[in-house]
Amino acid sequence: MVQATSRRGFLRTGIAASAAAFSLSSLGSSAFAQAATKPKFKISLAEWSLHRTIRGGKLDNLQFAETAKNEFGIEGIEYVNQFFKDKAKDAAYLAELNKRAEDNGVKQLLIMIDGEGRLGDPDDKKRTQAVENHYKWVEAAKELGCHSVRVNAGSSGEYEEQQKLASDGLRRLSEFAKPHGLNVIVENHGGLSSNGKWLAGTIEMVGLDNCGTLPDFGNFYINRGTGEKYDNYLGTKELMPYAKAVSAKAHKFDDQGNEANLDYARLMEIVLATGYDGWVGIEWEGGTPDEYEGIRLTKKLLERFQ
């Protein structure tokens, strides 16, 4: 009798062990499959992609979240302050943006700030004023649940002097943004900021972990008037170690769905080689096709590399 009981116990233990092993194996396979299918990065939409539509009165800033989700299936958005310039301190307006984003399951990621002065202005008073002009947008970004504000590092003078001036303004703004849980990120956006080495060096001079970059694939013209340009691929490589967001600029597509002027495979290889797995924002800037189709084409191109 004792033998039979032991035998039955052994069988029960064996069956339980086999079931557990099968269960773990199934879970392991499932986890592996999920890891294998998980996108390498997420795709967001920069509001500038729709600037003609917005300026033409066919779309309002309040409709941006809904449009991103319903028209393009995109769940992360990047605002441009030009499209709600007088609303940074409007609590009711910001609350409505929050509601619309929440209703559509969309994350509000950052605000791109222009027109608030040069953070690297050689005049100390003007530089200070520029820094303070950005405060309201940091506070608005906090209210919207964003992770960053995108700023410019405009300055003038010699190479090293501009680095010194821009890093001063960026440091002061980043110190203000820090307790708000916000990053201050700089786009290569003309002048020396489109020189990857210069901008990377400027971020190093700031020396704060909440001050970084937003590499834009297409904005490497130092002087459009003279045609002076920095290498897109080298610049992207230099800026990626500091990147907290990425801008996938596109102007034109060929018949195969490739960006006609930029090697996206090469650019995305540079981005992913750094271990970046955050948001890559579509920024369609071309004239043909229209903005809606340009966004769709850019999204389709990016999806090749996910």
What pLDDT is recorded for position 34?
53
Residue 200 has pLDDT above 50, yes or no: yes
pLDDT confidence of residue 194? 97
Tokens of 117: 């002065």
- Pairing between strand 183-187 and 279-284? unpaired
Statement: residue 5 has pLDDT above 60: no
Domains and CATH numbers, the chain: 40-303 (3.20.20.150)
- Give the model's confidence band at 282: pLDDT under 50 very low, under 70 low, under 90 confident, else very high: very high
Residues pairing with 211 in the sheet: 184
Q: Give CA–CA dist 295/250, Å, rounded.
A: 9
The rounded distance, in Å, linking the Cα atoms of 32 and 69 is 29
Nearest-angstrom CA–CA distance, 166 and 43: 30
Identify the band that residue 12 occupies on the pLDDT scale cut at 50, 70 and 90. Answer: very low
Of all residues in the chain, the percent with pLDDT exceeding 90 is 88
**146-161 per-residue burial string, b: 16 or more CB within 10 A, e: under 16:** bbbbbbbbbbeeeeee
Per-residue pLDDT, averaged over 282-286, amounts to 97
Determine what percent of the chain is predicted with pLDDT higher than 70: 88
Distances (CA, A) of 86 to 16, 81, 83, 146: 66, 9, 9, 19
pLDDT at 147 over 80: yes
Confidence of residue 44 (pLDDT cuts 50, 70, 90): very high
DSSP state letters, the chain: -HHHHHHHHHHHHHHHHHHHHHHHHHHHHHHHHHHHHS-SSEEEEEGGGGHHHHHTTS--GGGHHHHHHHHH---EEEEEGGGGTT-TT-HHHHHHHHHHHHHTT-EEEEEE--SS--TB-SSHHHHHHHHHHTHHHHHHHHHTT-SEEEE---B-SSHHHHHHHHHHHHHHHHHHHGGGT-EEEEE--SGGGGSHHHHHHHHHHH--TTEEEE-BTT--EEETTTTEE--HHHHHHHHGGGBS-EEEEE--B-TTS-BSSS-HHHHHHHHHHTT--SEEEEEE--SSS-HHHHHHHHHHHHHTT-
Predicted local distance difference test score (pLDDT) of residue 28 = 52
> 155-186: per-residue pLDDT in tens?
999 999 999 999 999 999 999 999 999 999 99
Q: What is the pLDDT of residues 210-230, one digit of tens each?
A: 999 999 999 999 999 999 999
Determine the Cα–Cα distance for residues 248 and 260; give it in Å rounded to an integer: 13
CA geometry: angle at 152 spanning 231 and 217, to 5°? 30
Lowest mean pLDDT among 19-23, 44-48, 110-114, 216-220: 19-23
Query: What was the pLDDT predicted at 37?
Result: 78
Share the mean pLDDT of the chain.
91
Q: Alpha-carbon distance 32 to 29, whole Å?
A: 5
- Mean pLDDT (whole number) for 108-121: 98
To the question of pTM greater than 0.75 for the whole model, the response is yes
CA dist 241 and 271 (Å) reads 9
Query: To which residue do tokens 């004792």 refer?
Result: 2
Q: Averaged over 231-253, what is the pLDDT?
A: 98
